[in-house]
Structure 1
């Protein structure tokens, strides 16, 4: 029993459905169904029939979702093994020369020949992002100052695009 509790605690921090977590879930729903059945026979209230139906539907959907997760995980593992066999048979995949742009709030960087994943890891300091925001004027319908206007943002984009083509 102590081993089950330890496995259950560890399964909370493990992604995906684990056997101990599914066992605990199923045992809990079975106990809830028994309590609802006992309350139904004690009170003859339609409410317990409805609650029992909802409980059964939730119980079924949780088990269905767990089966789907296991199936998707198995499919991903199969695709990974197929890709590994393909790489082993054909050699590594060649990445074509491409141009990737990485833009952060502080810098604009242009990297060439690297895929997007490595470009995001290796950010080079480029020109600092510049541009000042203009405050909108107040009209009678606006009660307070607004943030930067959309038109100003489009102006910054078009300025950057024109600088990039030069």
Structure 2
């Protein structure tokens, strides 16, 4: 028990959720729930039900946050390992100054700098022939609303 209290005291000054702090937090919330339940039985007051629900919500939120922090730490460790492996691979290929242009040139001409290849681009765009998009409106190409009203008026005169 004294070792747990020592770990708890040191975890207060350690950044992040430590196991001792998480256990102490869960024990505190469980004790609070028991006290609120006992008070509910003694007084039959709805206030203790509301306080118990608030306590349960906070307890769940704290545990969710601790789990998210632990997942983020694991992802950061994985990312750090990947960065170390990439550095080792770059240093193993020869001398590299670490500039982006050298990395792009070393990939080859058929590969796009963002990981796409030339086959992802349509043939017309690769050959330099670009097509003009058709508008969804009229086929005449007039965009102004005045010409649309002229067409409506002309149709109305034809109907008479």
The interval holding the TM-score normalised by the smaller chain is 0.5 to 0.7
Who wins on radius of gyration, i.e. which is larger?
A: 2
Backbone CA RMSD of aligned residues: 1.3
Contact 1:11 1:21 (C-alpha < 8 Å) held by counterparts? yes
Instruction: Please name the residue that 2:148 is paired with.
Output: none
**Aligned-pair CA distance for 1:93:** 5.8
- 1:59 CA displacement: 0.3
Q: 1:7 to 1:93 in 2, by over 3 A?
A: farther
Number of the residue aligned with 2:39: 39
What is the 5 A alignment of 1:76-91? 76-91=76-91
TM-score, length of structure 2 as denominator length: 0.58
Residue 6 (structure 1) aligns with: 6
Higher share in strand: 1
Which one of 94, 98, 109 corresponds to residue 94 of structure 1? 98
Give 1:90 shift. Answer: 1.1
Matches within 5 A, 1:99-138: none
Between structures 1 and 2, the one with greater helix share? 2
Could you say which residue in structure 2 is the equivalent of 1:24? Answer: 24
Other-structure match for 1:70: 70
Q: CA deviation at 1:13?
A: 1.2
Q: Using the alignment, how far apart are the partners of 2:85 and 2:76 within structure 1?
A: 14
> d(CA) in 2 for partners of 1:93 and 1:34?
63
Whether the 8 Å CA contact 1:4–1:20 is kept in 2: the answer is yes
Q: 1:45 to 1:26 in 2, by over 3 A?
A: same
Which residues of structure 2 form unaligned runs of 5+?
A: 101-160
**Runs of 4+ deviating beyond 6 Å:** none
Tell me which residue corresponds to 1:114: none
> SS at the partner of 1:23?
helix
Taking the aligned partners of 1:15 and 1:35, their CA distance within structure 2 comes to 30
